[in-house]
Structure 1
Amino acid sequence: MSDHIHIGIVVGEASGDILGAALMQELRKHFPNAEFSGIGGPRMLALGFHSYFPQDRLAVMGLIEPLKRLPELLRIRRFLREHFIKTPPAVFIGIDSPDFTIPLEASLKEKGIKTVHYVSPSVWAWRQKRIFKIVRAVDLMLTLLPFEAKFYQEHNVPVEFVGHHLADEIPFAVDKVAARQSLGLPEQGRIVALLPGSRASEVERMGEVFMQAAVHCLAQDPGLLFVIPAASPDRYRQLHIAMNDFVDYPIQLINGHSHEVMAAADVLLLASGTVALEAMLLKKPMVVAYKVAPLSFKILSWLVKTPWISLPNLLAQKLLVPELLQDKATPEALSAAVMNYFDNPEQTLALSQTFAQMHLELKRDASARAADAIAALIHSPVTKQV
């Protein structure tokens, strides 16, 4: 096959742009003259990607905003469908944003266009019947995590576990002293990082609770230092106001630098999310907490099929790190879980060693593996729809 081919890609958010740009670079090793088009972000555009719409038009969150934007989203998807059917790419790749990309993949696959979905939706955790749509939509699923691949194998979906790009990016060895020096923090002494989330609603629910937990910890060890890396300037302002009641305590607020703060800390108290994976890759003992609106929690408890929510526990398929959710996320309980790491240094060291093994499992040169799998699909014969 000529390397002068057209590859369609659609990404819906900033994390997808990171994956898409790295994937483009690796695909060009297979197809040096490949042309890429669809919807991409600034990193992809810098590599010569042709985007028919700004990527941020797909970046909608929550329940209400997507409904308000539905006519525009449907119009964009219809344009892409008609465009790619009229000028078929060698392969179409949807990166994340499953509610937008999987229906598009299904309509293109129906027309004989090879389709790939990169980053599995959490179908193993909730809305499991989506697997039947995915079967009809994709020729290949690329997963970041091993237990996701197992789920697809059980449902006869062609799948490749490529590893997680964060495991490739985050160094295997963490220099705690260098991280402290870069932030102007004391090289000696115990530091706890508080990470209450990147969204306003998360900080509203978790920020003050985390600071109250810090006060409880200080009652047991007055020498502790707490550091909060604000995820954005808006979160910095929000946290700065919340700290008015805690000015007498050694709690330091930093604008950004979350990775450096995590690397500098001995223990992390964090709101559940991708940050738990980052903490695991940094080999840091953590306490995971989360609160949502009561009705949302009731609905999620009914929908979610897994006993854990944090990635370290999901990867291990057992309770490695404490998860304190909703009413259980009290200052007393959170502080007890944090201090437990300091009180049991041998268990804490063993946990860090387990995290190191998990890092190795996820560190697989994800973008290169993904590109290899996509290239193999491009070179394979087309399978006719039944």
Structure 2
Amino acid sequence: MRVALVAGEASGDILGAGLMQALRAQHPTIEFIGVGGPRMEAQGLCSYFPMERLSVMGLVEVLGRLPELLARRKRLINTLIEQRPDVFIGIDAPDFTLNIELKLRRAGIKTVHYVSPSVWAWRQKRVLKIREGCDLMLTLFPFEAQFYQAQHVPVRFVGHPLANTIPLQLDRGAARLSLGLLESGSLVALLPGSRGGEVGKLGGLFLDTAELLLQARPELRFVLPCASPERREQLEALLVGRNLPLTLLDGQSHEALAACDAVLIASGTATLEALLCQRPMVVAYKVAPLTYWILKRLVKSAYLSLPNLLAGRLLVPELIQDAATPAALAAQLLPLLANGASQTREFAAIHTSLRLDASIQAADAVLALIAGQPCN
């Protein structure tokens, strides 16, 4: 059996490696070809070129690399048609992989897309291309599968790998000890994002909010994981002149979430980790005014954050753009420090619903497709 996979960034490399391991558990002599990173290569993938060549972020950066990306994709399509794998699996990176899936399916090769693009939120016409080019969509979240079912796209919800990685119960005291923090007292985690632009817009706002929280609760302490040395330097500059009982961490976002009592967090994938750690949260986000004006007209979803999308209702406060002020954020967070059970009870139920051994589920669906069996 020969399986082709293409991943374009580190998160896809992690998913791809887990899927490859699960496939090999059922077919020890399976062969893997395509493009992936070090984790997929460790599972036996012979990558046609370095995955980093696909890891491009930002419109200007993509435009500058467009000739190379188009040439690589064309050569990859021709190579895969020649190699005739039993199935092709595009892992996330939809702007690169969906076109490959379309061309390969037209050439008679079965195709799978693993991790849905946000078609349920915006650019919904992409579902037409997905329907034409994809034999099977594998989704990490149930609301995504419901969208594809309504659009008559073959789909299987496989759960989220992180839900199996994070225990259903976390030891707050042990997490604090591992970070060198006192076990007693209330601790708030501040997560203003991992990119420089996010920290630029939210870092000062979150620190202003922390100062207001401290006025109301003088015993509070704060912890802030820095995604990189550059983000740490950026945050240290924002802390100049402030007198906050705050500990900066190098990475260790999971430990910070496990250790805290409540979270002030930027909208993004980190909100899923906070949910799985079952920590009450307030979500905030700010973008450039023009970007916000455009997104307001494009985005069809009623909610921005993953916890609310998964709950199907406003479970966690979302303060976006001008609504995200220090006073408003502090007012939403203070009650959660006193009692966040209304959120965390539902977080526990969502965690269980996502804990399906995603790699095994995905492998079963892929093998069923190859065998011509129903994938649901």
CA-to-aligned-CA distance 1:173-206 (integer Å, 9 cap, x gap): 1100000010011111000000000001001110
CA-to-aligned-CA distance 1:140-176 (integer Å, 9 cap, x gap): 0000000100111111111000000110111111100
CA distance in 2, matches of 1:82, 1:249: 58
> For 2:178, what is the secondary structure of its paired residue?
helix
TM-score, L = length of structure 2: 0.98
CA distance in 2, matches of 1:309, 1:179: 29
**TM superposition shift of 1:63:** 1.4
- Aligned position for 2:343: 351
CA distance in 2, matches of 1:332, 1:60: 37
Equivalent AA in structure 2 for residue 372 of structure 1: D
CA-to-aligned-CA distance 1:52-96 (integer Å, 9 cap, x gap): 111111111121111111100001100110001111100000000
- Aligned position for 1:364: 356
**TM superposition shift of 1:342:** 2.4
CA distance in 2, matches of 1:7, 1:205: 43
Equivalent AA in structure 1 for residue 45 of structure 2: F
> For 1:276, what is the secondary structure of its paired residue?
helix
Written as runs of structure 1 = structure 2, the 5 A alignment for 1:92-103 is 92-103=88-99
CA distance in 1, matches of 2:100, 2:63: 18
**TM superposition shift of 1:337:** 1.0
- Aligned position for 1:37: 33
Contact 1:94 1:118 in 2 (8 A): yes
**TM superposition shift of 1:245:** 2.5
- Aligned position for 1:281: 276
**TM superposition shift of 1:353:** 1.2
Select the residue among 32, 52, 69 that pairs with 1:73.
Answer: 69
- Aligned position for 1:377: 369
- Aligned position for 2:294: 299
- Aligned position for 1:82: 78
**TM superposition shift of 1:42:** 0.5
CA-to-aligned-CA distance 1:335-359 (integer Å, 9 cap, x gap): 111112124x2xx113211110000
TM-score, L = length of structure 1: 0.95
**TM superposition shift of 1:105:** 0.3
> For 2:241, what is the secondary structure of its paired residue?
helix
- Aligned position for 1:175: 171
Contact 1:290 1:324 in 2 (8 A): yes
Equivalent AA in structure 2 for residue 283 of structure 1: Q
CA distance in 2, matches of 1:25, 1:47: 7
> For 1:245, what is the secondary structure of its paired residue?
coil
- Aligned position for 1:205: 201
Query: Does 1:262 find its partner at 2:254?
Result: no
Select the residue among 126, 129, 132 that pairs with 1:130.
Answer: 126
CA distance in 2, matches of 1:380, 1:75: 33
- Aligned position for 1:253: 248
Contact 1:30 1:375 in 2 (8 A): no
**TM superposition shift of 1:232:** 1.3
Q: Percent identity?
A: 56
CA distance in 1, matches of 2:262, 2:344: 11
Equivalent AA in structure 2 for residue 62 of structure 1: G
Query: Does 1:237 find its partner at 2:229?
Result: no
**TM superposition shift of 1:29:** 1.8
CA distance in 1, matches of 2:372, 2:347: 38
Query: Does 1:7 find its partner at 2:11?
Result: no
CA distance in 2, matches of 1:43, 1:316: 32
CA distance in 1, matches of 2:42, 2:337: 46
User: What is the number of equivalent residue pairs in this alignment?
Assistant: 374
CA distance in 2, matches of 1:342, 1:266: 7
- Aligned position for 1:341: 336
**TM superposition shift of 1:274:** 0.5
CA distance in 2, matches of 1:249, 1:47: 46
- Aligned position for 1:228: 224
Runs of 4+ residues deviating >4 angstroms: none
Q: CA RMSD in A?
A: 1.1
Equivalent AA in structure 2 for residue 59 of structure 1: S
- Aligned position for 2:24: 28
> For 2:301, what is the secondary structure of its paired residue?
coil
**TM superposition shift of 1:30:** 2.2
Select the residue among 81, 88, 104 that pairs with 2:100.
Answer: 104
Equivalent AA in structure 2 for residue 271 of structure 1: A
Equivalent AA in structure 2 for residue 60 of structure 1: V
Equivalent AA in structure 1 for residue 332 of structure 2: A
> For 1:69, what is the secondary structure of its paired residue?
helix
> For 1:153, what is the secondary structure of its paired residue?
helix
CA distance in 2, matches of 1:8, 1:74: 19
CA distance in 2, matches of 1:342, 1:9: 45
CA distance in 1, matches of 2:244, 2:349: 37
